[in-house]
Amino acid sequence: MVSASVSTAGAGSASPRLVVAAPGSGHGKTTVATGLLAALRGRGTEVAGFKVGPDYIDPGYHTIASGGPGRNLDPVLVGERSIAPLFAHGSRTAELSVIEGVMGLFDGRLGSADEVPPFGSTAHVASLLDAPVVLVVDAKGQSHSTAALLHGFRSFHPQLQLAGVIFNRVGSQRHEQVLREAARAVGIRVLGVLGRADDVQVPSRHLGLITAAEHGPAAVRAVESMADVVAAGVDLDAVAALAGTAPALSARPWSPDEAIGDDTGVPRGGGARIAVAGGAAFTFGYAEHVELLRAAGAEVLPFDPLSAESLPAGTTGLVLPGGFPEQHVAELSANVGLREHVAELVARGAPVHAECAGLLYLARSLDGYPLCGVVDVSAEMSPNLTLGYRAAVAATDSVLFREGQRVTGHEFHRTVLLESEDSAPAWYWRAEKVVTEGFVSGGVHASYLHTHPAGQPGSVARFVRACVP
């Protein structure tokens, strides 16, 4: 097992925790993880929610359920040595933490199949955190065969603590009895049984679930339903006791102040006022990003491009994170005053960090709707999904990165650029051939590539320095 003690500085923390995993996608991990967070919080337990991998959507539901920021744990984007410190940072006030896995328990980065556990997988993160694992199994259409499934998942990596199972979509009492017998045959404890509760389903679309911010009050109701179903079908006392068996972590909590450091030349209170887009169209951001911006001395000014008539007063820099602008393009386009204000900011040379949705918002148009027009490119929806990690190299000096700097990022979009301006690219990487991607022009860095600021804190410091007037 990979030790969780990746940093020996600082006092250890009890950090009760467990990982919610599954044999694959679609078994009900999000329902169980979110329901556990909400049900335990409803009993008065301070909880924290985490998601393995780069997914931005599930943490939004974790935020509703836990009352605190949902956070990601992705060894590919931040490095495995940062996982335990980031977890310790995010769980520092929690009595119990729930870590939702990604895909199947042993599904990791492509090319890591020979590693056990595969790099970037749920099992990898569970090992780094020395956390017990609860497997959620969609039992529809299965009975005694679940014994073989459970045995296989436990024996594939024996050092991993597969401590229990929660059966989902169980059809009857007889079905439940057979499943319990199957689990008993291989010595796996059944922690819960959930029926076929369609009322907890959250609407989905081309890139997964609809985000909590877009789903609005319906998302709150969905989380409440998940809590009710989990509270009724899962032994919460047993889950809490299991989480308490996780050994103390000796990892020192990650600190945004320490990550930025004192030797970066970042002025404290130097006048950097950075507007950060949010709301329903720009939901893809990591909690650590804002923490790092503030640690670097910036004043962070949240705003919603769907409703704000202009950028916040005194804005000296702009962050446009990812999201679903294609779902709100008519409203974004109709907000002409804000679009013009963004174009004026860019014309003044102000630093702009735009990722994916941000790139599209800066484009001339999306699906024919006029947008900010500061990046000379148009975009449209595509039937093809672009998805995967990228080992990228900064192609051009920018307000974020030095030319030649290496970064691991992630692409996740179903839009394509129709025309590309003749400007410096932001990135290049090698797939079947060398790929150039993104745009660097003046103070603008616009790209499809998502990066995790906790993996590149120097880029945040560099950006804040550029935002000082």
Among residues 243, 271, 305, which one ends one of the domains? 243
Compute φ and ψ for 59, nearest 5 degrees.
Answer: -60, -25
DSSP secondary structure, 428-446, as one string: EEESSSEEEE-EEETTEEE
| φ and ψ of 257, to 5 deg | -65, -45
Average pLDDT over residues 235-254: 96
**Domain count within the chain:** 2
Q: pTM score, two decimals?
A: 0.92
pLDDT tens sequence across 264-294: 555 565 789 999 999 999 999 999 999 999 9
Torsion sign over Cα 99, 100, 105, 108:
negative
298 and 189 within one domain = no
Share of the chain above pLDDT 90, in %: 80
> Are residue 217 and residue 299 in the same domain, yes or no?
no
List CB contacts of 178: < 8 A, sequence separation 6 or more.
143, 144
Known catalytic membership, residue 372: no
H-type alpha helices, 216-255 = 217-233, 236-243
Query: Do 197 and 299 reside in the same domain of the chain?
Result: no
389 and 453 both lie in a single domain:
yes
Burial code (b: 16+ CB inside 10 Å, e: under 16) for 53-89 equals bbbbbbbbbbbbbbebbbbbbbbbbbebebbbbbbbb
Tokens 């006791």 identify what position?
241
Residue 9 inside a domain? The answer is no
Question: How many Å apart are CA 86 and CA 71, to the nearest integer?
Answer: 9
Does pLDDT of 21 surpass 60? yes
Q: Are residues 237 and 302 in the same domain?
A: no
Q: Are 281 and 303 in contact (CB under 8 A)?
A: no
Using the 8-state DSSP alphabet, how is residue 200 labeled? Answer: G
Residue 248 lies in a domain: no
Q: Is the pLDDT of residue 85 over 60?
A: yes
460 in a domain, yes or no? yes
Poorest-confidence range of 64-73, 85-94, 296-305, 375-384?
375-384
Same domain, yes or no: 72 and 107: yes
Average pLDDT over all residues of the chain: 90
Active-site choice (356, 407, 446, 454)? 356
Q: What percent of the chain has pLDDT over 70?
A: 90
Answer yes or no: do 221 and 101 share one domain: yes
Is 251 within the bounds of a domain?
no
Residue 300, beta-bridge partner list: 274
Domain of 179, CATH number, reads 3.40.50.300
> What distance in Å separates the CA atoms of residue 460 and residue 288, rounded to the nearest whole number?
11
The domain of 103 spans 17-243
